[in-house]
Amino acid sequence: IFPVSLPNLTRLTLSHNKIRVVPASIANLYNLEILTLCNNQIVELPSSISTMPKLKILNLAINRLSSLPRGFGAFPVLEVLDLTYNNLNEQSLSNNFFIMDTLRALYLGDNEFEKLPPAIGQLKNLQILSVRENELVELPKELGQLTRLRELHIQGNRLTLLPPELGNLDLASHRCVVRMDDNPWVAPIADQLQIGVSHVVEYIRSDTYKYV
């Protein structure tokens, strides 16, 4: 149980324990900016966690989450959210998950996603998106609305095609990181990928791609 009497605490790391449930009193730590709960056995989060007014970084990687509490997207200033290595899928994310205007990095790798909700296009400030090692069979065209995206990890899925709207993004820039290997791409994309990711981006921008 977290007391109210820790007003100066800004960072809390409770990694590598055997925590299963995070108590609602975590919200008493109202000045907390960084909360690291990775490598536990967490199966449940309190809805109060998203009311923490100053929380900027939340690391919940390597746990056992299969669902998220209602209102999870209400974090007022969250910038980095790591949910890697859990048991999450598209049903785990409610629409309000994507109202986090301040989110810059979202890590959903090593989960059980087959699709990403179209509402992901609402994360206008997102710069890093990792959905590697899932079961994704397609990507939503709304990813093309994430104009600030500079890092995209989609390797290790079941993707065969890319939405042409991804061509709206500046992913061919040398400043960007794109990983898309280990997918069963259709031959034209696979051929371009052998030359380089920038060639894939140019290809999906072409008129030829629209008829694949």
In a domain, 77, yes or no: yes
The reported pLDDT for the residue numbered 6 is 77
The reported pLDDT for the residue numbered 5 is 61
pLDDT digit of tens for each residue in the chain (212 aa)?
565 667 789 999 999 999 999 999 999 999 999 999 999 999 999 999 999 999 999 999 999 999 999 899 999 999 999 999 999 999 999 878 999 999 999 999 999 999 999 999 999 999 999 999 999 999 999 999 999 999 999 999 999 999 999 999 999 888 899 999 999 999 999 999 999 999 999 999 998 886 56
The reported pLDDT for the residue numbered 211 is 55
Q: In terms of residue numbers, what domain contains 118?
A: 11-187
In a domain, 61, yes or no: yes
Contact 200, 169 (CB under 8 A): no
Whole-angstrom distance between the N-terminal and C-terminal Cα of the chain? 57
Residue given tokens 């996603």 in the structure block: 113
CA 34 to chain CA mean position, Å: 17
In a domain, 96, yes or no: yes
DSSP for residue 105? E
Which residue, among 30, 28, 92, has the nearest Cα to 60 in the 3D structure? 92
The reported pLDDT for the residue numbered 2 is 61
Angular region, 62: left φ>0, alpha ψ -120 to 50, beta rest = left
The reported pLDDT for the residue numbered 86 is 98
In a domain, 192, yes or no: no
In a domain, 25, yes or no: yes
In a domain, 31, yes or no: yes
The reported pLDDT for the residue numbered 1 is 55
Number of domains in the chain: 1
In a domain, 203, yes or no: no
**Calpha distance 23→25 (Å, rounded):** 5
In a domain, 198, yes or no: no
The pTM for the full model equals 0.95
Identify the CATH number of the domain in which residue 58 sits. 3.80.10.10
